Amino acid sequence: MAGGASATDSAPDSAGGAAEGSAADVWWRTAVVYQVYPRSFADGDGDGVGDLRGILAHLDHLSALGVDVLWLSPIYPSPQEDNGYDISDYQGVDPLFGTLDELDELIAALHARGMRLVLDLVVNHTSAAHPWFAASRSSVDDPRRDWYWWRPPRPGFEAGAPGAEPTNWRSFFSGPAWTLDEQTGEYYLHLFAAGQPDLNWENPRVREAVHAMMRWWLDRGVDGFRMDVINFISKDPTLPDGRAVPGPGGSIAPDGLGDGSASFICGPRIHEFLAEMHRAVFERRGRAFLTVGEMPGVTVDEARLFTDPGRCEVDMVFQFEHVGVDHGATKWEVRPLHLPALKAIMARWQAGLADAGWNSLYWSNHDQPRVVSRFGDDRTEYRAASAKGLATVLHLHRGTPYVYQGEELGMANHPFASIEDFRDVEALSHYRTALGLGEHPSAVLAAMRAVSRDNGRTPMQWDAGPNAGFSRPDVRPWIGVNPDHVTVNAAAQRDDPSSVFTHYRRLVELRHTQPVVSLGDFTMLLADDVQVYAFTRELDGVRLLVLANWSSTDADVEVPDGVAWADAELLLASGTSTEPKGPDADGRWRGGAWDAVVLRRPSVPA
């Protein structure tokens, strides 16, 4: 049985999800979540795309890792304009991934192993192919017209003319956030792709339909939801123009589009909507669920409100501040990591949610490049050590850790050679826009190679064979397999006591067996050090010291209270040194490249 208690063992008498109650209600504080991106995990039917049958075939991998929760990125029917985040039917499974019966089989198989299933809930927007939107766009008088955001052209402009969009908002996938529907002569709002129209949550019928859908999934055995951009669902109904966006050299962006985020990030009714959702969906159910709010742009103060158990909104936030630390004006302006800046962000979230609320811990997901290439060192001699060091730091923080598929193997960015290798709508849109603004193709590709979401979406590397064991040798995967799979793969690591996989398994076990890891107080050390990440955790007379050298050169630093740690118990060690260890008797830590150690001692030395 993986991880903590089974679904039945942990079922509380009171409501699940964001509610104050017994220890079972907050089981997720000692849990570890594993994210599967279905199209890239395992191809079970031989069409080159991952599916539910492939996931079912690899559940033993998750059991061996010891994780508690499987978060499944969208598997609903979809035109796949944004790889499933454009949903055309909330209560089905896309044939690309399998059937509802197979999803039921997956739920049962996970529960039998003591794991839970969390689905992606994408309700800020639907697909333009959803029946709701088909009705909405059919006529200005249709009963579902106001299920979405429709507006006439800007006063003084003809529909379709440049600048006629109702507001100057830019979509996240480049270009205006409004698209003209020629049949009715009005524009609809889409914060993402044109095929992802935004739902109008001001309409109570929209909210009721979403709540009914969520209840349907819970009745089917699903254990909760990761809620995609859920803090965008409340918008200022006046939809005012956004602030001007600086372009090159500080000038106004050449396309004249602005940033409308002040009108939709944590909008005026967001707390009301989430509290209503909790009452309508989760209250009075006989087991505990997990509700995760993915919230771009959320502040620590807002996160305290969202995750305060007494407010009954969501259990934890999934925020992005730390993964923007190496961005310039946009994500495509890649900057070297400045470690003190990252530590400052992480420490602020640790302190801000220390006495109220809860945070998700992650380096990687389907929206991020591979962390070993981003914050670590993916060269052969440092790859495994840096992957372990990065994992140690993350998993020893307070919050719920997330492992993204392949992260437990140290998977790295793909060496994409040309634009033809990319698949992501965001990356392809950026490429067209950047070239239109006169940027050189090679420079654009270099940035895409570093930060494109496609890096996290290449096939899972199961073995050294053709297609990395993701699909049959005679099948071409939907996106290219990383050529390094011949040395970096699950088969080579699963039984290797020194592998990245084994290290992750030990980290999961620490969280399950050491309460100080999940619940202890956090204190950042050496905040300004550009090379060493150090902190302590403390709970009920037990204290941990975590030291990690985030560098491919040796470290030599004086550790606060270092002398007292010289003879501490070594709980976990990794790196390039033959025997990584804690501080010496003089209180200094001398760590090799990417060394990381976790030490344990009583709070008060004997």
Please calculate the CA angle 118-296-42 and round it to the nearest 5 degrees: 40
Q: Give me the pLDDT at residue 77, please.
A: 98
Residue 555's closest CA among 529, 517, 536, 578?
529
Residue 23, pLDDT > 60, answer no
In a domain, 530, yes or no: yes
Average pLDDT over residues 26-31: 94
pLDDT digits (tens, 9 = 90+) for 440-488: 999 999 999 999 999 999 999 999 999 999 999 999 999 999 999 999 9
Query: What CATH number is attached to the domain comprising 145?
Result: 3.90.400.10
Average pLDDT over residues 299-311: 96
> Cα 211 to the chain's mean position, in Å?
23
Return d(Cα 57, Cα 43) in angstroms, integer.
10
Residue 37, pLDDT > 90, answer yes
Q: Give me the pLDDT at residue 449, please.
A: 93
pLDDT digits (tens, 9 = 90+) for 166-212: 999 999 987 899 999 999 999 999 999 999 999 999 999 999 999 99
In a domain, 183, yes or no: yes
Do residues 5 and 29 lie in contact, with contact meaning Cβ atoms separated by under 8 Å?
no
179-187 long-range contacts, CB within 8 A, separation 24+: 181/137, 181/150, 183/137, 183/138, 184/137, 184/139, 184/140, 184/150, 185/152, 185/153, 185/159, 186/140, 186/150, 186/151, 186/152, 186/153, 186/159, 187/150, 187/151, 187/152, 187/153, 187/159
Backbone angles phi, psi at 556, to 5 degrees: -150, 100
Range of the domain at 550: 520-602
What DSSP string describes 487-503? TS-HHHHTT-TTSHHHH
Q: Among residues 155, 189, 223, which one ends one of the domains? A: 189
Domain count, the chain: 2
Q: Give me the pLDDT at residue 18, please.
A: 45
Do residues 567 and 573 lie in contact, with contact meaning Cβ atoms separated by under 8 Å?
no
* Residues whose CB is less than 8 angstroms from the CB of residue 440 and which lie 6 or more positions away in sequence, other chains included: none
Confidence of residue 26 (pLDDT cuts 50, 70, 90): confident
Average pLDDT over residues 253-260: 82
In a domain, 272, yes or no: no
Average pLDDT over residues 358-367: 96
Residue 427's closest CA among 457, 459, 460, 468?
457
Residue 422, pLDDT > 50, answer yes
In a domain, 345, yes or no: no
CA distance readout (Å), 8 to 22, 94, 113: 15, 29, 12
Query: What CATH number is attached to the domain comprising 562?
Result: 2.60.40.1180
Residue 12, pLDDT > 70, answer no
Give the rounded percent of residues in the chain with a pLDDT score beyond 70.
94
In a domain, 135, yes or no: yes
CA distance readout (Å), 73 to 101, 285, 301, 366, 427: 18, 24, 28, 9, 19
Average pLDDT over residues 288-316: 96
Tally of CB atoms within 10 A around 160:
12
Return d(Cα 151, Cα 188) in angstroms, integer.
7
Tally of CB atoms within 10 A around 114:
19
- What is the bridge-based pairing of β-strands 150-151 and 360-361? unpaired
Confidence of residue 10 (pLDDT cuts 50, 70, 90): very low
Q: Among residues 139, 173, 189, which one ends one of the domains? A: 189
Do residues 129 and 235 lie in contact, with contact meaning Cβ atoms separated by under 8 Å?
no
Q: Give me the pLDDT at residue 245, please.
A: 77
Q: Give me the pLDDT at residue 503, please.
A: 98
Average pLDDT over residues 272-289: 93
Residue 489, pLDDT > 60, answer yes
Confidence of residue 284 (pLDDT cuts 50, 70, 90): confident
Q: Give me the pLDDT at residue 41, please.
A: 98
In a domain, 101, yes or no: no
Residue 250, pLDDT > 60, answer no
Return d(Cα 600, Cα 571) in angstroms, integer.
7
Q: Give me the pLDDT at residue 255, please.
A: 75
pLDDT digits (tens, 9 = 90+) for 123-172: 999 999 999 999 999 999 999 999 999 999 999 999 999 999 999 999 99
Residue 11, pLDDT > 60, answer no
Residue bearing the bigger pLDDT, 53 or 252? 53
pLDDT digits (tens, 9 = 90+) for 108-123: 999 999 999 999 999 9
Q: Give me the pLDDT at residue 371, please.
A: 98
The secondary structure of residue 280, as a DSSP letter, is: I
Residue 111 burial (C-beta neighbours within 10 Å; 0-12, 13-18, 19+) = middle
Confidence of residue 251 (pLDDT cuts 50, 70, 90): low
Q: Give me the pLDDT at residue 605, please.
A: 53
| Total residues found in the chain within this entry | 606
Q: Among residues 139, 162, 189, which one ends one of the domains? A: 189
Q: What is the mean pLDDT of the chain?
A: 93
Q: Give me the pLDDT at residue 24, please.
A: 57
Q: Give me the pLDDT at residue 6, please.
A: 31
CA distance readout (Å), 445 to 430, 439, 478, 558: 10, 10, 20, 42
Confidence of residue 323 (pLDDT cuts 50, 70, 90): very high
Active site residues: 228, 294
In a domain, 504, yes or no: no
> Coil, strand or helix: which one is 256?
coil
Q: Give me the pLDDT at residue 479, please.
A: 96
The secondary structure of residue 510, as a DSSP letter, is: H
Residue 556, pLDDT > 60, answer yes
Confidence of residue 234 (pLDDT cuts 50, 70, 90): very high
pTM exceeding the 0.85 threshold for the entire prediction: yes
Query: Among 172-176, 232-236, 513-517, which stretch is predicted with the lowest mean pLDDT?
Result: 172-176
Q: Give me the pLDDT at residue 7, please.
A: 31
Average pLDDT over residues 580-595: 97
Residue 387's closest CA among 411, 368, 367, 365?
411
Residue 546, pLDDT > 90, answer yes
What DSSP string describes 84-124? TSS-S-TTS--TTT--HHHHHHHHHHHHHTT-EEEEEE--S
Q: Give me the pLDDT at residue 272, please.
A: 98
Residue 413's closest CA among 465, 371, 367, 353?
371
Q: How many CA atoms lie within 13 A of 189 on its CB side?
A: 29
- Per the structure block, which two tokens stand in for 309? 């158990």
In a domain, 582, yes or no: yes
* Residues whose CB is less than 8 angstroms from the CB of residue 36 and which lie 6 or more positions away in sequence, other chains included: 55, 70, 71, 72, 73, 405
